[in-house]
Amino acid sequence: MTRGLRLAAVALANLRRSRNHFLLASVGIVVGIATFTFFTALGLGVREIVLGKIFPLHQLEVVPKSLDIDVGPLRLGMGKDIIDDAKVAELAAVPGVSAVYPKMRLTVPATAAGGESILGSDIRSEMIIDGIDPRLVEEDATLAKRFRDPGPPSAEACETDATCGSERYCGYPAGTLLPADRAERQRLAPPKVCRDYIPVLASHHLVELYNGALRRAHGFPKLNPKAVIGLTFDLTIGASMVAASNKNKLLIERAKLVGFSDKAITLGATIPIGYVRAFNVLFGSEADARRYHSAIVVIPVKDDVASVARNVHDLNLDVADTGAEQAALLIAIFMAVFGLVSAVIVTIAAINIMHVFLMLVYERQHEIGIMRAVGASRFDVARIILGEASVLGMLAGGVGVGLAIGAARLCDAASSRLIPDFPYKPETYFSFPAWLILVALTFSVGFCVLGAILPARRAARMEPAEVLSGR
């Protein structure tokens, strides 16, 4: 047996012999490490949800800078409310930006009707629609296949949807404006052709809002997001539930939900920008094809977000306030406060451990003297004391981490059973990456060794002659 192994065996024997003292001394370490691990994991888990799903930090939405003036109950925007191709090019040249994707709002009213196959009856609602570049979702292979700009117009005549197969429908030719009057529309309607559905993306916010509140208010069933993909509905451009907003010409289309994405508008429908551009030109002018209302700026490195935001302001543009910065700050404060509390607990525990080791060194001074007399060096004595502290720290840290994980599982189970559904309710609120467990164990061992340094030095300085003679 090597010298190191013999010293380790002595340290373990001392731990077993004084286990009651060490058990009491380790309580503070266990509590402190459990507190640190639990609240750090909670902060990391909440951060993943808030800054990963609700407020994605890898992208910024840039909007035109404008001055709002309140006039009674109204707020008037002063200044242009568009971004043109030149501004998009300037944004793409900003350091730290990997891509810029313009967005375009539908500038005419629209209504949607559908949902009978899921809800039992059709629902008609006003629709807010914006268009994005399909390249914005190309990292999702499934969406990339389905979410595309309009293709060439079809000339394949049809009478029913069955004629066109499952992936298309029978509708009016693309770009056909019809009279708002139903009788007049039926009289002047051209022959129908097979058409592609307009692909629609919905936000995760929308389904969470529906499942969390709206369905209860209307007595609707809870929706499974995956199951509603493929839902089709009628889309009428130019129609509105506000009578004064109705147009005298309508564009009747049919849309299909192809997926959910954080690139979609929070409340409304997101479709490929090519469709929105065509609709705006039909109801407006050719100039509307070159007017964007915002742009998504993709920033691969999160540390570059602040500098990109400053450059955006220099271009006389604004960054849309999503609340991400405030959320990140609150989470950071939360983690810092509980990290400080944990550090205080562990520091107090380290002081307690120092007292325990000082007491044990005093009790063991006779055997320490014998060890020195038979050849043990000062360094050997110190290694035994610090070895005991390291083992104690590892064991206490392991128990603390285990308690934190167990408490997290209990919280998740209680949440799933006792807390009603709410938007973005997660399966777990916690994240336990490997580095967190490693840091917790390192802190535990480090503070135990720190507490044992003074007793180890005192033990190492004992002179065998003085100890054994009782002086």
**What would the pLDDT profile of 230-269 be if each residue is shown by its tens digit?**
888 999 999 888 877 888 899 999 999 998 887 888 888 9
State the pTM of this model. Answer: 0.60
State how far the Cα of 307 lies from the Cα of 74, in Å rounded to an integer. Answer: 34
State how far the Cα of 24 lies from the Cα of 33, in Å rounded to an integer. Answer: 15
User: How far is residue 444 from each of residues 198, 392, 402, 410, 447, measured CA to CA in Å?
Assistant: 58, 9, 13, 24, 5
* Mean pLDDT within 461-470: 61
State how far the Cα of 342 lies from the Cα of 350, in Å rounded to an integer. Answer: 12
Angle between helices 378-418 and 3-17 (to 10 degrees): 60
Confidence (pLDDT) at 338? 73
Paired sense of beta strands 129-132 and 67-71, if any = unpaired
pLDDT tens readout for residues 26-66? 777 788 888 888 888 888 887 777 666 555 656 788 888 76
- Residue 110: strand pairing partners: 237
Confidence (pLDDT) at 76? 47
Burial of 207 (0-12, 13-18, 19+ CB in 10 A): middle
Confidence (pLDDT) at 257? 92
- The H-assigned helical ranges of 267-323 are 273-283, 305-314
CB of 339 closer than 8 Å to CB of 32: no
CB of 452 closer than 8 Å to CB of 354: yes
State how far the Cα of 354 lies from the Cα of 452, in Å rounded to an integer. Answer: 5
State how far the Cα of 131 lies from the Cα of 133, in Å rounded to an integer. Answer: 7
- Flag whether pLDDT at 302 surpasses 70: no
